Amino acid sequence: MKIDCWICGKPAVTTLFTEADESFVARMGLSLYSRCYCEKCGAKVAEQEKNDRELYIRLKKREMFRRACDLLEKQSTNMYEYKDAIEVVREHVEEHPDKFDSSYEVLAAIVLVYNRIYSRMQYKVGRYQVDFLLPELFVVLEIDGERHKHKKDYDTKRDIYLQHELGEGWDIIRISTDYLDKDAKKLPEAIHKVIEYRQTGKVNWRKLYQ
């Protein structure tokens, strides 16, 4: 049986299908008659799909960046004071579109840069990737969205693992996106409060964001 190329119409595949083949493939929910491509067209399709995926990711990250700026602006922020920090993060988003998973992470990055807190974004620690590693403060900063409210056991086990990997003296700090929505500019204060209370490990988050 000959199958023509989906793009150019030239013969792409020549094969023999038996009834047994068709029965097995049907049970697997597949088809023997999916689109086929000749070598030349197949290479073009693969290249186009790769370019489309990269473009999609870049557009998605740009929208993420735009939303982060909108969130900051809505908090009565003098955006012109933050302009340099915003530009630094914008360039980073463009150069490393894999580094952010949410607008809140972009927002946190802008605030960290503005306050000259050095960070490594989406940093690998053991088998996990953390949102921010703040090496000068010995802090791992995680930005927790809605889904983390239902993952407390998982997050606790993850934090224990990260603490073991990083060693004594490091803190794992989790900031809810609810607090960033309220006043992202207080993020450095929150981080330093946790460091201050490192001995007790207790911080009144609500008091920080009143």
Q: What is the pLDDT of residues 48-82, one digit of tens each?
A: 999 999 999 989 999 999 999 999 999 999 999 99
Q: Domain holding 185: CATH number? A: 3.40.960.10
Check whether residue 31 and residue 68 sit in a common domain. Answer: no
Of 34-43, 156-165, 190-199, minimum mean pLDDT range? 190-199
> Residue 46 belongs to what domain range?
38-208
**pTM exceeds 0.85 for this model:** no
Check whether residue 6 and residue 79 sit in a common domain. Answer: no
Check whether residue 19 and residue 121 sit in a common domain. Answer: no
Give 186-192's long-range contacts (Cβ < 8 A, gap of 24+): 187/108, 187/111, 187/112, 187/115, 188/111, 188/112, 188/115, 188/117, 191/117, 191/134, 191/137, 191/139, 191/141
Check whether residue 142 and residue 195 sit in a common domain. Answer: yes
Check whether residue 112 and residue 165 sit in a common domain. Answer: yes
